[in-house]
Amino acid sequence: MKILLTSATLLEIKPLIEKFELNENTFVKCHQHEVQIFITGVGIPCSLFHFCKRLQTIDFDLLVHVGIAGAYHRDLQIGEVVQVTQDCFADLGIETENGIETLNERGLDEKLSFEKNNYMINRNVNVKICGNLKKVKGATVNKANCNENSIHVIRKKYKSDIETMESAISFYVCGKQGVSFVAIRSISNYVTIRKNAEWNISKAVENLVNYCISIV
């Protein structure tokens, strides 16, 4: 199988790249599959542009979108690798006195066939390479939240498990184009006031890369 492995930064998959000498130009044979990497850059605008540009050519069987994430609750452990099965653009909408209304709720956005209860759903949820990873709901945001009010608004509205700055891009673009994909994240911190966030990026990256090695 040909896998297009994508992340926002080189940092998140650098040990994997070095181990198999992966690049963005060709597919490289790993243990079980052929893999090509694809780096999008950080944030929704940059990732969306590069996703749309790269996916003009579908020369792969499965897109695997990986990276680190913040957890909204402590049922998830720092360094834990999870599968994102639902995601949303959590701060895209209209601010109200009680929180936020989505564009869809205001009738300003198209209704997606793969969307339910404000979440985009990945229909490839049972892809074998994800094994027994815990399944979570993601909130993709334009800014990493570390303010109590901002965090409360997102959690109240979506009841998400994790927060990222790119994950929903794969749900939107791949969903619109009918491309098979999975989204995998490793917990690097808790979404809280920054001084209490308990960041451990190195552990999150190490566990993420080890999992990627096991599936490629």
List the chain pLDDT tens, one digit each, 216 residues.
Answer: 999 999 999 999 999 999 999 999 999 999 999 999 999 999 999 999 999 999 999 999 999 999 999 999 999 999 999 999 999 999 998 988 888 888 888 887 777 878 888 999 998 766 778 888 999 999 999 998 888 888 888 989 999 999 999 999 999 999 999 999 999 999 999 998 876 668 999 999 999 999 999 999
Domain membership of residue 135 as a residue range? 2-215
Three-state DSSP at 136 gives strand
b/e for 51-86, b at 16 or more Cβ within 10 A?
beebbeeeebebbbbbbbbbbbeeebebbbbbbbbb
Number of domains in the chain: 1
Give the list of residues 6+ apart from residue 137 with CB closer than 8 angstroms, or none: 84, 85, 86, 87, 119, 158, 159, 160, 161, 162
Half-sphere exposure of 209 (CA within 13 A, CB side): 18
Give the pLDDT score at 126: 62
Three-state DSSP at 71 gives strand
Domain of 67, CATH number, reads 3.40.50.1580
| Neighbouring-strand partners of residue 190 | 71
Return the residue matching tokens 């994909």.
Answer: 181
CA–CA distance, 74 with 58 (Å, rounded to integer): 38
Cβ atoms of 197 and 70 closer than 8 Å: yes
At residue 195, what is the residue type?
K
Cβ atoms of 196 and 175 closer than 8 Å: no
Give the pLDDT score at 145: 86
